[in-house]
Each structure stands twice: as C-alpha cells, then as structure tokens.
Structure 1
Amino acid sequence: MYQEERLIEIVHYLKQHERMSVEDICDQFHVSRDTARRDLVKLEEQNAIVRTRGGAILPDSHREIKDYQHRLMTVSEEKKAIGRAAASLIREGDNLILDTSTTVQACADQMEAMGCTVITNSINQADILSNKAKVTIQLLGGRLQKEHRFLYGTSVIEKLSHYFVEKSFIGVVGISEHGLTIAHEEDGMVKRKMIQQAKQAVVLADHTKLGVTEHFQFAELKDIDLLITDQPPAPSFKDMLTKHGVELLVTEKGANQ
C-alpha cells in the first residue's frame, strides 16, 4: 500500500474511533514504527491530525465527546468482552464502585444474579442494576452532568470517602505513561476518589485507549491494580505496566489473536 492510501485510511479510522496509536498503524498496515511515525508527521503537516504521545487524534474541529446516549448505541463487541471479563471477577457479597463509562456499563449488564452492593454516580448504571433483584444500589447525589448523565461535585466526593469497597471499576479515555486521563476534570476528580476507596482498582479500557493521553490526569499507573483490555498491548506497554505493579488481563478473544 502506498503512503497516500495509508494516510486516507488513517484519517478514516480516526473518524470512526477518534484515536489511533502508532501500534495500531503498525498492526493494521504491516509497517514499521518509523513508517507509522512518518505517516503521522505527513498528516500533521496537512493539518489533518493532531499528534499525541504514542499516536494521533483528529483536530478539535472534527472531534467531539459523544453524549452518553450516542455512546450507548455504539458499545462495541470488544467493550462487551471487557465487561464480561470484569463481571467474572465479582463475588457474592462484594461491595463495589462502578463509574460512568460505557465499558463499565457493559460490566453492569453482565453481572450475575448475586447479592452485592454497588455504589455509583451514574444514572444509567443505577437504572440497569435496578433490574437485578439481589443488587443493592447506592446512588451518589450531586450536581447532574446532563449530557453524560453522571453526578459530580464535592458532595459526591465527600460521600465516597465514607465507603470502603473490594473493587472499583473505572473507565478511561486514555492510559499511558502519563497515567489515567479523561476529558472532563469534574468526572476525573470523582474517579480519583473511587480508586482511593477500593482494595482493588480495576481499569476497563479497549485497545484504542492504550498509549493515549487526554486532557486531565486523575490517577497514576501505580494507583491501579488491574487493567482489562481486548488486545495484547505492545511489549513496551506491558513492561510499563509491570514496572508500576499493574496486572494485565486480555479478554479471551483478544488473547487468541
């Protein structure tokens, strides 16, 4: 494939997935990392992308953080597989924290009928779990972010400080050497507290989030215990996780690729 063809395909991929890492380019087009970087430099010169550490995103004029209802309609099979793997870690009697992400919602969807307590600031998570008879739900009250349907603010963080749980399940927009990042600071502050209150902090992130750095860092890699994803990361990414004591779980389908 000629470079011009790759550049068109890279932009097409970004319009669908919002982010693309150097590793994604290497895997998809069977090129070296140097070739992938040259492609990104060329696209940046054309003002078609914005380069990030480890990959690229579209310029702000082409990007948007989709509202929650839109993202619900586009929950991928990869996210469902991650959610299924996360749900398999839940045990009878567990106290849990679930954040607002659609990948974490995939976990809530697939939780078995067992007695446990879930603390969340997500209206959607509470609605899904309300159909599971044995699950006790504690919905954290605060200011409503209408577009993305989560509650935030000092009252949410204060309330969280009184709960101690076995596991928290957290979604991200990016996870990289710069830690866990997200677009909205108010959401990130709540996620930070959710991690602090759990014995085990579990991050759910599909492969498009790996190597990505977003606007607001809410935790460092050393703050989390387990990352569940759908494709094996690059060796350098695995080494980074090991260095910070983070375990890695790749979904069954991804592990067999």
Structure 2
Amino acid sequence: MLTDERHAIILSLLNDAGIVKTQELMRVLDCSESTIRRDLDQLEKANKLKRVHGGAKRLYQLNQELSTQEKSLKNIQEKTNIGKFAASLIENDDVIFIDAGTTTLALIDSLKKGNITVVTNGIQHASILAEHHIQTILLGGKIKASTKAIVGSTSLNELKSYQFDKAFIGINGIDIEFGCTTPDPEEAAIKKLAIHQSAVSYCLADETKWNKVNFVKVCDLQDVTILTNKSRVDLTSFKEKTTIMGATS
C-alpha cells in the first residue's frame, strides 16, 4: 500500500473515532509498527494529528458560528427532513421546549398537534408558532443579534421555572470525545438547562455537525437522543455513546 493511501486511511479513522491506537493501525493497514510510527510522525509534522502514547489523536479546529441568515441557506432539505421527523415525535398535550436555530425552526412547519404548549428562546420561532395558533411562551432576556436567540440571566431564571415533556435542541458540533458543543456560552447555558428540565431531549443535527467541535460543551452524547439524516452520516463509532434516530425523507 502506498504511503498516501495509508495516510488517508489513518486520517479517516481519526475523523470517525477521534483517536487511534498503533496496534489497531498495524492490523488495519497490515504493516509493521515502525511503518505506522513513521506515518504518524509525518502526519504530525504536517499538522494533521497529534501523537499520543500508543497512537494518535485528531487535531481540532474550533468552528466559527454563522448567522441565522447564513445557516438558513445551508442543507435546507436535510433540515426539513429532520424537522418533519422531530415533529412526528410530539403528542397532544405535550409541553415542549424548542431551542433557537434553523433546524429546530424547520420542525414548526410540520407540527400537526395543536393542543401543545411551547416554550422557546427563538424570536422567529415564537412568531411562527403564534401564526399557527399554538400556545407559546417566549423567554425574556437579551437578544443575540446574529442568531435571534434570547439569552442571559433573565431567560435562565425563567427557564428554571418550567418542566418539559420534550426538548428539541439545535447544536453546532457533535464529537465522540467532546460531546455536543456550541460556540456561545450564553446559548450553551440555555440548551444545557432545557435538557436538564426535560423528560426527554432531542438534539437536531444534519450531517455538517458531525465530527465538529465548538467552544462550549452543552452535554454528553448520552444525555440526548440525536435526530439526524442518518443515511448520510457514518455513525458506527457513535452508536455506543448515544441513541440516534435517522430522518432521511
């Protein structure tokens, strides 16, 4: 096998698992320990990975947050499919939390259950819910201009007063090692508290959110059920860490 081929396989395994062991690479690539060590040294010098005892780990680059307008133009069909699937999980008389975000916004258009109560920190979400004649509570607090989310101590204090049957959370990054992450500490605090206050929590994430890491951790993978366009994402390495439900069409 050519060196470039081995390097591509090593980086692919790192992308899926976050960390690889030398012994595993020897087995997968069918080559000697000295060859693997040389490959890892070369990839580390190229700033592709970080050597650790017995193997290597992936290097992470924190992702910058896009505005709501920028997000709304990306992966529209995938978000629509995930939104429809999320909406199908809502039952009559549910009290739910819908987080600010473009993927969570997509579930509102598919809501069929009218006898529900929704709490949200999304200004656009509250407006559309009201148009659908759904009983809606918009959290008070500071408006974050880029995402039109309400955040801060006022919204957190209000949120502490509520309990939910289900919470639907938007997320910016999902990683097997670092869990669910987002760029903004104030938005992370809202998401984290909503998960804590809910009997069941769902994280809505299209394929672009997987194997990404952002500044602030929201929760461990075990804390939520992830709704994703399953057929487009390799979920093998995540299956022991979380419950995953696929929304494909």
> What residue in structure 1 maps to residue 237 of structure 2?
236
Q: Name the residue aligned to 1:15.
A: none
Q: Gapped runs of 5+ residues in structure 2?
A: 9-13, 17-27, 30-38, 51-56
Shift of 1:70: 2.3
Q: CA deviation at 1:56?
A: 6.3
Deviation, 1:207, is: 2.2
Is the 8 Å Cα contact of residues 176 and 210 (structure 1) preserved in structure 2? yes
Deviations 1:144-171 (A, max 9, x none): 1112111111111110111111000001
Q: How many angstroms apart in 1 are the aligned matches of 2:45 and 2:104? A: 33
Equivalent runs, 1:13-52 vs 2, <5 Å: 22-23=15-16, 45=46
Partner of 1:88: 88
Q: 1:54 to 1:85 in 2, by over 3 A?
A: farther
SS state at 1:188 partner: helix
Separation in structure 2 between the aligned mates of residue 75 and residue 83 of structure 1, nearest angstrom: 12
Structure 1 unaligned segments of length 5 or more: list them.
Answer: 8-20, 24-32, 242-246
User: In the alignment, what sits opposite 1:132?
Assistant: 132
> Is the CA contact 1:75–1:102 (under 8 Å) kept in the aligned structure 2?
no
Counterpart in 1 of 2:181?
181
Normalising by structure 1, what TM-score? 0.72
CA contact (8 A) 1:22 1:55 kept: no
Cα distance 1:50–1:96, how it changes in 2: closer, same or farther (>3 A)?
Answer: farther
Aligned pairs for 1:72-221 within 5 A: 72-133=72-133, 135-177=134-176, 178-221=178-221
Q: Secondary structure at the match of 2:131?
A: coil
RMSD: 3.4
C-alpha contact 1:94 1:116 (8 A) present in aligned 2: yes
CA drift of 1:22 comes to: 2.9
- The residue that corresponds to 1:250 in the other structure is 246
For the Cα contact (< 8 Å) 2:93–2:117, is it kept in 1?
yes
* Structure 2 length-normalised TM: 0.74
What is the letter of the counterpart of residue 139 of structure 1? L
1:94-121 per-residue CA deviation (whole Å, 9 max, x = no partner) reads: 1010001111111112111522111001
Distance 1:44 1:77 in 2: 39
Q: Give CA deviations for 1:20-67 in whole Å, capped at 9, x if unaligned.
A: x835xxxxxxxxx98xxx8xx86983x8x899x66765xx8xx74221
How far apart, CA to CA, are the structure 1 residues paired with 2:15 and 2:218?
24
- CA contact under 8 A between 1:75 and 1:103: conserved in structure 2? no
Q: 1:187 to 1:131 in 2, by over 3 A?
A: same
Q: Matches of 1:50 and 1:171 in 2, distance apart?
A: 29
In structure 1, give the amino acid aligned to 2:241. Answer: M
Amino acid in the other structure paired with 1:70: E
Output one character per residue of 1:223-245: Cα deviation in whole Å (capped at 9) or x when no partner.
22x1111125332211222xxxx
> What percentage of residue pairs aligned between the two structures are identical?
27
**Corresponding residue pairs, total:** 218
- Give the direction of change, closer, same or farther, for the CA distance of 1:67–1:172 in structure 2 (3 Å limit): same
Larger radius of gyration: 2
